[in-house]
Chains A and B, each alone.
Chain A
Amino acid sequence: MTEKFGSVPVRSYEITPKHLFLSRRDFIKAAGVVAGSAALAACAPSVSDDSQNAAPTPTSSETDELGNPVNSYEDITHYNNYYEFSGSKQAVLPLSKNFKPLPWTVEVGGLVNNPKTFAIEDILKSFPQEERIYRLRCVEGWSMVIPWNGFTLKSLLDMVQPTSDAKYVRFETVFRPKEMKGQGSPMYPWPYVEGLRLDEAMNDLTILATGVYGETLLTQNGAPIRLVVPWKYGFKSIKAIVKIELTSERPNTFWLTASPHEYGFYANVNPDVPHPRWLQSTERRIGEFSRRPTLLFNGYGDQVARLYAGMDLRLSY
């Protein structure tokens, strides 16, 4: 069957991942510098042709820590689950064109000592952005490996200082039905709300992402700022956040409200907890043909399993 797929002129996963061609450019630049000649720099195109044969410079962004290659920028920016725009993953991108991610502010409040409203520019300035390559496992049974740029949620929460009563963090997506067509549907409990237990939110893996592949986050990926919690199903990683609130009560989340029989609050990736609709023991990595086994906590058990010590994961799913 791979032959069948091979007959497609250019599959999206055949497109060179951006960091690879960027690293090739670095190679070209480096070659130019070494030559130290303006004349040679003018010949850049021919140098570039030669460099096609050279092995790409290994960079941190080629694979995740398990050796899985990252998905292409094309796949990440064209296959999007974003119900604020559409239930169809391919329809999100065209519908997202009307959305204005700037200007943007994020209000951080609730049970904190220093409530603060951040302009997105201040967030980018205040918190050093780092790259995190994470697997993203959707509850629907597909997955990707994505090189995010962002910063830990902990660094932001430390700045506002949660009080001792704070037990949960509640996140809310912007509500703009004029720009986000899907929000006009009465079938969903808008706005999108997600939540984490405070210790989950403070875990070093939990980040607020502002970019992908070193590029500013695009609207279809949750611009300008979104949550990424890699050991949980993708729907926990809420997009286009305008409000972060520390609470003592567990927040009522979007999908838990819409369909309480299938979506748990924790939603940890777990191959042994069946879902009424999708098989969770395996997944299809975007760009791959065969299914692969799903890992407990999406492979991040070493960092997060202790958060759930003593809990029955079959009950708290």
Chain B
Amino acid sequence: MKKFRYTPLQIAIHLYAWSGLAFLIFDFVTGRLSANPIQDLERRTGHHAIALLVLSLLCTPISIIFKWNEPRKRNRTLGLYGFFYVIIHLIIYIDLDYGFAWDMIVQNIIQKPRILVGLLALLLLIPLAITSFDIWKVRLGKNWKRLHQLVYVIAPLAVLHYIWSKKGDILKLQGEVLEPLIYGLVVAVFLILRIPPIKKALASFSFRNLFLRNKKVQPPEQAELEDSL
């Protein structure tokens, strides 16, 4: 008999992913949302979506730096959960907030850069979500990897959507910019790690190697690292 086993990391990921919706429903049912509940729903689903997407980006660097293979396998779960919250976020925006008033929604897309970049990030996420299953990975071959490199476009767009949704001026470090800035820096670091020389250096150096210097260290599986980054 095959046992259904979840690793602690998997359990943590599923719990964290569902916690966003669970807390939202709890607060809604118990009347803990603010006097402007639709705005609360919009903000909180958007925030959870972006947190999940940024976490999915962190998986591979964590695997490489800590020579811990598991996180790399979980980026798909995190990414799909992120997409799930993006869709809820969109439905709340179109239905609850604007009541399907398409003229206003179109006006928003044209007038507000933050809405436009948010929409772009969402549209680009759709093919990634659809092709995230193994069967597509096989079917698309090399193109699958190419397609999924779209995250390097999606993540900055999503963070930009978040930054522009907050009051203030990020370039002057004025306003509600601290949290979006942290997300922005994480994504920036992730993109920097993509630069070839840095990527190579990272693959041959790791904290774990540092700690285990005196012990026998297995050589990094270069091919696998290359594939995953």
Contacts and interface: CB of A to CB of B under 8 A. Distances in A.
B206 interface: no
B144 interface: no
A291 interface: yes
B98 interface: yes
Contacts of A87: 167, 176
Given A274-B111, A279-B112, A258 B174 contact: yes
A78 to B, nearest CB: 6
A259 B36 contact: no
Contacts, number: 86
A277 B97 CA distance: 15
B190 to A, nearest CB: 24
A286 B168 contact: no
Contacts of A282: 104
B175 A259 contact: yes
Q: Categorize the interface residue count of chain A.
A: 35 or more
A255 B99 CA distance: 31
Interface string B123-160: 00000000000000000000000000000000000000
A9 interface: yes
A115 B37 CA distance: 46
Given A10-B31, A276-B113, A284 B36 contact: yes
A142 B39 contact: yes
B169 A259 contact: yes
Interface in A187-220: 187-189
Nearest to A255: B167
B107 A281 contact: yes
A291 B36 contact: no
A13 interface: yes
A142 B173 contact: no
B28 to A, nearest CB: 7
Interface size class, chain B: 35 or more
Interface in B71-125: 95-99, 101, 104, 107-108, 111-114
Given A187-B176, A279-B111, A12 B31 contact: yes
B12 interface: no
A252 to B, nearest CB: 13
Contacts of B30: 9
A274 to B, nearest CB: 5
Nearest to B37: A5
A287 interface: yes
A13 B35 contact: yes
A54 interface: no
A8 interface: yes
A189 B38 contact: no
Interface in B31-52: 31, 34-39
Given A11-B31, A279-B107, A286-B36, A187 B174 contact: yes
26 contacts: A8-B28, A12-B31, A13-B35, A79-B34, A79-B35, A79-B36, A87-B176, A140-B39, A142-B36, A187-B173, A187-B177, A187-B178, A189-B174, A255-B167, A257-B174, A260-B169, A276-B113, A276-B114, A277-B164, A279-B107, A279-B108, A279-B111, A279-B112, A284-B38, A284-B39, A287-B35
Closest 4 A/B residue pairs (Cβ): A79-B35, A258-B174, A75-B35, A259-B169
Interface of B: 28-31, 34-39, 95-99, 101, 104, 107-108, 111-114, 164-165, 167-169, 172-178
